[in-house]
Structure 1
Amino acid sequence: MSKGANYNLKFRRRQEGKTNYYRRYVFVSTSAIREVVRLTNQHVVVQFYDIDPKGDKVLASAHSIELVKKFGWKGDTDNTSAVYLTGYLAGKRAVKVGLKSAVLDIGMFKAITGSRIFYAAKGSVDAGLEIPLGDVQIIEERIRGEHIAEYASKLEQENPEIFNKLFSRYLKRGLNPKDLPSHFEEVFNKIKENGG
């Protein structure tokens, strides 16, 4: 490890790739409510934070596993549809506790056009919050999972063996991937009526 007068050791969380301290400084200086979106290999977590000197306070949150346990979601918990629904659920809860606006905190992720992170923010916007997004190119068909349904339909005709292998988790849960858009609408309506 380098040492010397001209070597600056980064903070531990920066070394671990967990915190961008410059972005954190900007959020603290503006005192804005943050919508924090974090993607893992299997799940999505959306939380609304208020900055406090003693430690950030979570005002509202949603986890994609709730889609399965509370609303009967049978798709993957980390695809674009699940990210949107989780953002929508968190947004409904944020509106319920009195939030009107927030800024998006993407953490260490890069702001790539069409990224799933922006679909979570789009869900929160559709729930009634004001979140500045700019031009992030949200594709409505991807929200409903139409791209997955089209691919599944094509693959089932061309190669049923690969279809069964690729979509085995969907089929095991009792959902034909071709029915994902209608299943999305069903779960979306449940969240709209009972979410929060």
Structure 2
Amino acid sequence: MHLPPNYNSTALIAKGGKRLQHFYLGSFEIAYAKIEGDMIVCAAYSHELPKYGITVGLTNYAAAYCTGLLLARRLLNKFGLDKIYEGQVEITGDEFNVESIDGQPSAFTCYLDAGLARTTTGNKVFGALKGAVDGGLSIPHSTKRFPGYDTESKEFNAEVHRKHILGLNVAEYMRLLMEEDEEAYKKQFSRFIKNGVTSESMEGMYRKAHATIRENPVHEKKPKREVKKKRWNRAKLTLGQRKDRVAQKKASFLRAQAAEED
């Protein structure tokens, strides 16, 4: 009996960097297991986000949401389901689940594998999960690990979650730090300042990115660079060159011998 693949949405927060600049890159993958190993069906990475207008903050919750959204739209586009399952376009932060539509192919269902990531409330893994669900993937989950869930009252505040998705929590901290310590603000948000990202433009940046991701989630392969192969071994000498080389060595030896006798 042949069983269909059991897809896992694998959320990884992997350490990476460029030269001396070390930071965390988020990757979100859809994979299924085979005897020879996991087979990756589709993947999205936070270092792709600058293409969609997000040039800073690639490690925060809002960026993780965008990466999950990118994965979902890319995967559904790959299987021709992107027009059928659009997901949750309006950002509410509230619970949303994708259900299969009658007369259409079933919703793409997968399950979260957080790997070694700590599944604490507000972890970026759940930001990626929320982005994937809002993007149209069916992933069983609850709101208990989203920002805004109160473990004491057992209540979920969707507005708090919405602010995290749109980076408004970062924007609020930027304003607070600017008022309290301008030097610390300039130091901590130097890359934001350099790229012209302010607390006022934060929400617009993410909303624009969400729309752009939905318009074109397809991964563009980089053209292969033409690499000129270099050979460092000595070039072969012709017969004439070898004979001339021997003659030169012989003459040099004879001169040295004559000098010693004198």
Question: TM-score if structure 2 supplies the norm length?
Answer: 0.60
Partner residue in 2 for 1:78 = 59
Q: 2:109 aligns with which of 101, 121, 125?
A: 101
Amino acid at match of 1:44: G
Write the letter of the residue equivalent to 1:116.
Answer: K
- Asked whether the 8 Å contact 1:65–1:77 carries over to 2, the reply is yes
> How far is the alpha carbon of 1:55 from its aligned partner?
2.1
Is contact 2:42-2:75 (8 Å) kept?
Answer: yes
Residue 153 in 1 paired to residue 175 in 2?
Answer: yes
RMSD between superposed Cα atoms in Å: 1.9
Which of residues 32, 42, 45 in structure 2 aligns to 1:50?
Answer: 32
User: Partners of 1:155 and 1:111 in 2: how far apart?
Assistant: 29
Percent of aligned pairs with the same amino acid = 28
What does the per-residue CA deviation read over 1:28-70, in whole Å, with 9 as the maximum and x for residues that have no partner? x9952000111134210011002111221111100101011x2
1:110 and 2:118 matched: yes
Show CA shifts across 1:108-147 (max 9, x none): 1232122110110110001101001123234111010101
Total equivalences in the alignment: 167
Q: Is the contact between residue 152 and residue 177 of structure 1 (CA under 8 Å) also seen in structure 2?
A: yes
Q: Distance in 2 between matches of 1:150 and 1:110?
A: 26
Structure 2 matches for 1:20-31, cutoff 5 A? 31=5
Query: Runs of 4+ in structure 1 displaced over 3 angstroms?
Result: none
Determine helix, strand or coil for the equivalent of 1:188: helix
Unaligned runs of 5+ residues in structure 2 are 15-22, 80-106, 148-160, 219-262
Letter of the 2:179 counterpart? Q
TM-score by length of 1: 0.79
Task: Assess if the C-alpha contact under 8 Å between 2:44 and 2:67 holds in 1.
Answer: yes
Distance 1:57 1:96 in 2: 19
Is 1:193–2:215 an aligned residue pair? yes
The range that moved more, 57-66 or 33-42, is 33-42
Whichever structure has more helix as a proportion of its residues is 1
Counterpart secondary structure, 2:201: helix
Displacement of 1:186 in angstroms is 1.1
Per the alignment, residue 163 of structure 2 pairs with 141
- The amino acid that maps onto 2:38 is D
Determine helix, strand or coil for the equivalent of 2:34. coil
Q: Which runs of 5+ in 1 are unaligned?
A: 1-28
The equivalent of 1:3 in structure 2 is none
2:196 to 150, 174, 177: 174
Identify the residue that residue 6 of structure 2 maps to in structure 1.
Answer: 32
Q: Would the aligned equivalents of 2:13 and 2:117 in 1 still touch at CA under 8 Å?
A: no
1:149 maps to a residue whose letter is: A
1:60 alignment partner, one of 28, 39, 42: 42
